[in-house]
Structure 1
Amino acid sequence: MPLMPLTQLLCPLDQSALLQDGNTWRCENNHCFDIAKQGYVNLLPVQNKKSLDPGDSREMITARRDFLNSGVYQPLAEALANTVDTLCDGRQQLAILDAGCGEAYYLNTVCEQLLKSGVELTATGLDISKWAVRSCKSRNAKLNGLVASNRQIPLPDNSQDIVLCTFGFPVYSEFKRLLKPNGHIVMADPGPEHLIELRKAIYETVRRNPVTDISAALEDNWHLSLSNNLQFTTPVLSAAQFEQLLVMTPHLYRASREGRERAAKLQDITLSADVFIRVISQT
């Protein structure tokens, strides 16, 4: 069963329904949004942008694509795919949104797993970075691609079965609005030991922060239905992989000059991955 296209969006200017008309999405008030040649649609209004080119840069997205394609984080991708597959077992139709999809490595892995069961699947990658959404479409042209913010997701109420948020910035009110009854928010967040070796090299003082607090989501009949801590050690990283990792994470941009110099001297390094996968579900 192939991936399915979206049939309706919300206009970011007036929240009315957008319907596709050829290569344009149009609302009843004649607000129009053209489909880019790469196949995505930009629904991030200028007034909602905090910069001319918001989100991750082209350089960061390219580095993340190349690093993830090398398979270093494959255990995490497989764990997410298995989690979603278990949540959706027995369903014949599914809609999944990756809110903050990056270049869609995780979303695509999840879709590959779900499609094995013959489900009719509509999968959408959303990111504030146009470079991320372009890379998402390049990875799999059948994925729906939206440039938009998690603060105003241009999808109808009760339209999604799963909202995936991997190392992202959740907006729980929007996620809950989108989800159908018995829907789930699937989150992956770094644990205290994630990339600890890299952080020790870069920073004078390393903080082992607790996993992201999700208490704000646990209200109004929503509860934590699953929490797994995935830990693994990466293979020895090549010089190219290590450079990609530095560019794709915020650590390079937060580090001092001395910290960057220390990181540049690291060789034949393996890193600790420490990720919490949690599912927030309706009671």
Structure 2
Amino acid sequence: MATTAFTALACPLDGAPLASADGGWTCPAGHRYDQAAQGYVNLLPVQHKRSRDPGDSKEMVAARRRFLEAGHYRPIAELAARAALADLPAAAACLDAGCGEGYYLRQLAAQADAAGKSSALLGLDISKWAVQAAAKAQRGTATWVVGSNAKLPVLPATLDRVLCLFGFPVYPEFARVLKPGGTLIMIDAGPDHLRELREIIYPTLKTPAAPNDQAPPGFSLRHRESLSCRIELDSQEQIADLLVMTPHFYRASPAGREKAAQLSRLALTVDVRLQVWQRLQPTENA
């Protein structure tokens, strides 16, 4: 892999630089974070948690891993990688904020390798189960961290790219950690995303909210495009994995989930929207 060590981690307690030492990470004040046997580090202090076990459950992570590794969302991964690699500077540093089990970051690493580009990759998620699965899948691809987008354990102005794919953006934090001129790459569901599944599990579909095209403070729009394609799921297991890995599993009624459980085949629309936002220079107006 064309990846290098990620060196811009910050202590989640005092914001000081973290240095790798003796199987863990330490800051000048002596705060230490041990690396787990699976190869990740937990930088989410108890006082920063809103629940005992935040983020996706072990079952959701397993379902997402099976679904993504089957290649159903590969066009989305390729779209994100193309956007991230466009005009990527040498020795770049990239963060996947909400990396899940690491599929998209691994695809980015593979694309960077194929393009002969070297980068330092950081995968961060609030779910310890997701980060554990990511580190197990390919420890050498990136630095894997349990952490929160609300308080990124990353030094200011050190990143060239931040990816937030189907995630929860915290624009002030993204602006803080990006270098001026760096880019925030976001992918979100479009109005027709998984429409066929939603028509089955919900009595009626809500009218899609109008997209918010206003630039976040500190950013300007660099690029926007949509991707639409069709996928075919040919087993109850694949359909169940898709439902479990999405918020629809919890939003649907028991009757709606039962309808999905009866399906053995399902043709679906994949509809997503890519937005690339560039971090403004400090002297520019947001």
Which category describes the TM-score, using the shorter chain as reference length?
over 0.9
Q: Flag the 1:195–1:208 CA change in 2: closer, same or farther, 3 A.
A: farther
Q: Flag the 1:173–1:239 CA change in 2: closer, same or farther, 3 A.
A: same
Tell me, in whole angstroms, the C-alpha distance in 1 between the residues paired with 2:6 and 2:76.
27
Tell me, in whole angstroms, the C-alpha distance in 1 between the residues paired with 2:33 and 2:94.
22
Aligned 1:72-83 pairs, distance under 5 A: 72-83=72-83
Q: Is the 8 A contact 1:189 1:212 kept in 2?
A: no
Q: Is the 8 A contact 2:6 2:93 kept in 1?
A: no
Q: Is the 8 A contact 2:8 2:17 kept in 1?
A: yes
For residues 240-272 of structure 1, the C-alpha deviation after alignment (integer angstroms, 9 at most, x for no partner) is 111111111111111111111222222321111
Deviation at 1:212, TM superposition (A): 5.1
User: Aligned residue for 2:157?
Assistant: 158
Q: Flag the 1:101–1:14 CA change in 2: closer, same or farther, 3 A.
A: same
Deviation at 1:126, TM superposition (A): 0.2
- Which of these residues, 231, 235, 250, is aligned with residue 232 of structure 2? 235
Q: Is the 8 A contact 2:9 2:154 kept in 1?
A: yes
User: Aligned residue for 2:270?
Assistant: 273
Tell me, in whole angstroms, the C-alpha distance in 2 between the residues paired with 1:93 and 1:208.
44
Deviation at 1:215, TM superposition (A): 2.5
User: Aligned residue for 2:284?
Assistant: none
User: Aligned residue for 2:44?
Assistant: 44
The SS at the match of 2:232 is coil
User: Aligned residue for 1:202?
Assistant: 201
User: Aligned residue for 1:60?
Assistant: 60
Letter in 2 for 1:194: H
Deviation at 1:196, TM superposition (A): 0.5
Tell me, in whole angstroms, the C-alpha distance in 2 between the residues paired with 1:87 and 1:238.
41
- Which of these residues, 91, 102, 107, is aligned with residue 93 of structure 1? 91
Tell me, in whole angstroms, the C-alpha distance in 1 between the residues paired with 2:144 and 2:22.
16
Q: Flag the 1:279–1:135 CA change in 2: closer, same or farther, 3 A.
A: same
Deviation at 1:63, TM superposition (A): 0.4
For residues 197-223 of structure 1, the C-alpha deviation after alignment (integer angstroms, 9 at most, x for no partner) is 111111112114236535261x34x21
5+ residue gaps, structure 2? 281-286
Q: Flag the 1:208–1:191 CA change in 2: closer, same or farther, 3 A.
A: farther
Q: Is the 8 A contact 1:224 1:279 kept in 2?
A: yes
Deviation at 1:87, TM superposition (A): 3.7
Tell me, in whole angstroms, the C-alpha distance in 1 between the residues paired with 2:28 and 2:279.
34
5+ residue gaps, structure 1? none
The SS at the match of 1:9 is coil
User: Aligned residue for 2:130?
Assistant: 132
Deviation at 1:232, TM superposition (A): 0.4
Letter in 1 for 2:268: L
Tell me, in whole angstroms, the C-alpha distance in 2 between the residues paired with 1:38 and 1:99.
20
User: Aligned residue for 2:24?
Assistant: 24
Letter in 2 for 1:64: R
Tell me, in whole angstroms, the C-alpha distance in 1 between the residues paired with 2:81 and 2:107.
6
Q: Is the 8 A contact 2:221 2:277 kept in 1?
A: yes
Tell me, in whole angstroms, the C-alpha distance in 2 between the residues paired with 1:18 and 1:110.
25
Q: Is the 8 A contact 1:234 1:271 kept in 2?
A: yes
Task: Percent identity, please.
Answer: 44
The SS at the match of 1:72 is coil
Give the paired residue count: 279
Higher mean alpha-carbon deviation, 226-235 vs 23-32, is at 23-32
Q: Is the 8 A contact 2:188 2:272 kept in 1?
A: yes
- Which of these residues, 83, 105, 108, is aligned with residue 106 of structure 2? 108
Deviation at 1:228, TM superposition (A): 0.7
Query: What is the TM-score of this pair, normalised by structure 1?
Result: 0.94
Is 1:259 the counterpart of 2:274? The answer is no
Tell me, in whole angstroms, the C-alpha distance in 1 between the residues paired with 2:223 and 2:52.
39
Deviation at 1:138, TM superposition (A): 2.0
Q: Is the 8 A contact 2:12 2:153 kept in 1?
A: yes
User: Aligned residue for 2:145?
Assistant: 146
The SS at the match of 1:263 is helix
For residues 64-118 of structure 1, the C-alpha deviation after alignment (integer angstroms, 9 at most, x for no partner) is 0000010111111111112222242xx3211110000001111111121112232
Is 1:180 the counterpart of 2:185? The answer is no
Tell me, in whole angstroms, the C-alpha distance in 2 between the residues paired with 1:282 and 1:8.
18
Q: Is the 8 A contact 1:194 1:275 kept in 2?
A: yes
The SS at the match of 2:86 is helix
**Where in structure 1 do 4 or more consecutive aligned residues deviate above 4 Å?**
none
